[in-house]
Structures are given as C-alpha cells and as structure tokens.
A and B are shown apart, each in its own frame.
Chain A
Amino acid sequence: MRLQYPTNVRIIEVPCTGKVDIIHLLLAFEQGADGVIVVGCMEGDCHYMAGNLYAKKRVQRVKEILDRVGLGGERVGMYNLSSGMGGRFAEIVREMTNKIMELGPSPIRFAKGTAVRAAGEVAA
C-alpha cells in the first residue's frame, strides 16, 4: 500500500491491547512522550474476548489522571481498527500528530529541558 505517515511516531507492538496497562501509558509520558495512542482490534473482535475493552477502560482512566495532574487527557487516545485498515491507521496517526503539534510539547519535556518554549510563550 506504501502508505505514508509521520516518522515521529514510535510503534510498540504488544500481543493484545489488553496487555497495555495504565502504568505503561503513564511511564511513556514520564519519559517524554507528547502523546500516546492505543490501537486495538475492533470491539467485539478481540481474540482474547475483552482485551480491547479493558484497554478502553484503562485509556479512559489515564485521560482522567492526565487531566488531574495537569498534562491534559487529550494527549492520550484509543482507536479500534482491523488488520485490513492500514489506510485508516495512517490517517489516525496523521490526525493525532497534528493534534499534538497544536497542543505543543508535553509539559514534562519543558520541565526536563528537552523542549524549549517559543519566545513570548508562557506555561499553561
């Protein structure tokens, strides 16, 4: 298909999104990720019955945590795709990348010095 999507995305493969825990998502933000998306199978199609449904709940919990600690829950999201939806995957990655670009770097990166605020920009 030779689909193009932004190169600033790091893909971490897991056997099932049910393997992705809250702590994994929070550690990604601690290590400086500006945004994280969890991409699982279509709801109702989980080989392990409910892995993607568990992931959905956990992503929702991480959104709440990020809102409460000041990072903003919009930096994390979950999408459900089948293996035949490569085009949609590339589209989602572009959408998420654009959204993160609009939000700007994570406050964690400013604090760690791996991102610098533009002249005149003030912390949210």
Chain B
Amino acid sequence: MIKAIPKPMEEIINYVQDCTKLLIAGCDGCVTVCEAGGLKEAKVLAAALRLYFTQGGRQAQVDETSLTRQCEKEYLAQLSDRIDQYDAVVSLACGVGIQHLAEIYDKKVVYPGVDTCFLGVNEERGLYSERCQACGRCILAETGGVCPIARCSKRMLNGPCGGSEGGKCEVSKDTPCGWELIYERLKTLGQLDRFETPTVPKDWTTSRDGGPRKIVREDLRI
C-alpha cells in the first residue's frame, strides 16, 4: 500500500492561516491503514486547527470528512454539493488523491496534509518499509520474490556489491542488503543456480523513461 506520514503542524498552519472556512478531507484507503490521513487523523487535525484559530481570536470554520478513496472520481463527487462553501481543502490522501481532488475541483485551493513516501508494507503498527518502486516491469520471479529495485540501495540487478557486510547495506546498518535477502530466499527455495546466469540489463522504458505513465486496458474499456 501507499505509505505516508502527516505533515508537521506548522507547515499546515502556514498554508491555511488566512482561511476562514476549511475542509479537512481524509481518505479511507491506504493513508488510513498507515494512520496518516484517515477520518481519525482528519478529526484530530480539524480539532487542532480550530484550537489554533480560536486561541488567536479568529472565527474560522474547520470541518472534517473522509472519502472512501480520493483516487476515484465517483467518491470525490461526494464533495460536490458542499465544497464550494470552503476557502480551501486540506487533503490527507496520498499525493495521488490530493492531485485528483485538485483536478476534479479545479477552482478550489487544495493543500497537502501528508507527505507521501513509498509503496510498502506494515511490518508492525507504526513501522512501514518500502517494497516496490512501481518500475512497471516486475522481475520478482527471477529474484526469489525479493525486489532488487526496491530493496537494494543501488538498484543493482546483479548483486550484492562490495558494500554488503554481515547482511547489511553500507548505506545504513539498519538496512538489510537486498541481495543478501535474495540469496537467502533463493537458497531456501533451492534455486541458487539462478546466480550462475547474470541478469540482463533491465528495460526501463516502463519506468519513468517516457515521463508520466498511463495504463490503457482496452479489455476493460467500452
């Protein structure tokens, strides 16, 4: 899932300090799971901003809501009857949702309430780590289900490099070496012979090579 962290309160206050009617829009998708931008976080931010405005002697209306997913226009449409009353919207969705909200309501000022970080897993509550960089051409079948693009700091296709020591990456002692993980996994699977064939250079045209990407699925379109 997409992982995000809440923006510092000072930054959000800086965006909205001149507003008098504000909507905090959470998202029930990925950002709810990582506790950065769901309904609960929207309520907390709205309450904090109401306290900020009130203690400063300002009359400001700060409402909160949460949409099922801000990355789908059908759910964003749920705001259509009331978004006009607000000066601005602080979206707690990921960067995708924030942009989509701004795109659908193109005359509305939209501010980000979270910093979107990566595609990752919940290792445990409050601990999330990256697993995928959405490069567009998955090679997990060749690497024992461990992605060298996301898990190796150098994105090496034939690792490990000389910086791998004791199973850790030279970038940080807290970072497992991606290729060590691949080696151990392939050993478990009895597929160590995979190392006898070098990986061919990766086709990066599916990554950011051609600018913003698009998927067109004619089988799904009418």
Cβ of A64: which chain B residues have Cβ within 8 Å of it?
9
Bitwise, B42-62 to A at CB < 8 A (1) or not (0) is: 011001111110111100000
Interface of A is mostly: helix
Are B47 and A108 in contact, CB atoms less than 8 angstroms apart? no
Q: Of A22-30, A79-87, A88-96, which binds chain B? A: A22-30
| Interface-side segment among A1-9, A10-18, A35-43, A67-75 | A67-75
A69:B44 contact, CB within 8 angstroms: no
Give the distance in Å from the alpha carbon of A64 to the alpha carbon of B13 in the complex: 14
Pick from B47, B56, B57: contact of A26, CB under 8 Å: B47
Give the Cβ gap from B24 to chain A, nearest Cβ, in Å: 12
With both beta carbons as reference points, the residue of chain A lying nearest to B125 in the complex is identified as: A54
Q: Is the CB of B48 within 8 A of A26?
A: yes
Q: Are the C-beta atoms of B40 and A71 separated by less than 8 Å?
A: no
B40 to A69, Cβ gap below 8 A?
Answer: no
Number of interface residues of A (CB under 8 A): 20
Query: CA of A107 to CA of B40 in the docked complex: distance in angstroms?
Result: 25
Q: Does B10 contact A (CB under 8 A)?
A: yes
Among B10, B13, B44, B51, contact of A71 (Cβ-Cβ < 8 Å): B51
Q: Is A21 an interface residue (CB 8 A)?
A: yes
User: CB < 8 Å: which of B40, B51, B57 contacts A30?
Assistant: B51
Q: A26-B48, A65-B48, A68-B13 are in contact. Are A108 and B40 (CB under 8 A)?
A: no
Q: Which of A64, A65, A123 has the most CB of B within 10 A?
A: A65
Q: Are A70 and B40 interface neighbours, CB within 8 A? A: no
Q: Are B9 and A108 in contact (CB under 8 A)?
A: no
CA distance A32 to B51 in the complex (A): 10
Q: Which of B9-51 contact A (CB under 8 A)?
A: 9-10, 13, 40, 43-44, 47-51
Smallest beta-carbon distance B71→chain A, Å: 26
| Partner-B contacts on A (CB < 8 A) | 21-23, 26-27, 29-30, 64-66, 68-71, 106-108, 111-112, 123
Nearest 10 pairs of A and B residues by beta carbon: A107-B55, A69-B52, A26-B47, A68-B9, A69-B51, A70-B55, A111-B54, A65-B48, A23-B43, A22-B44
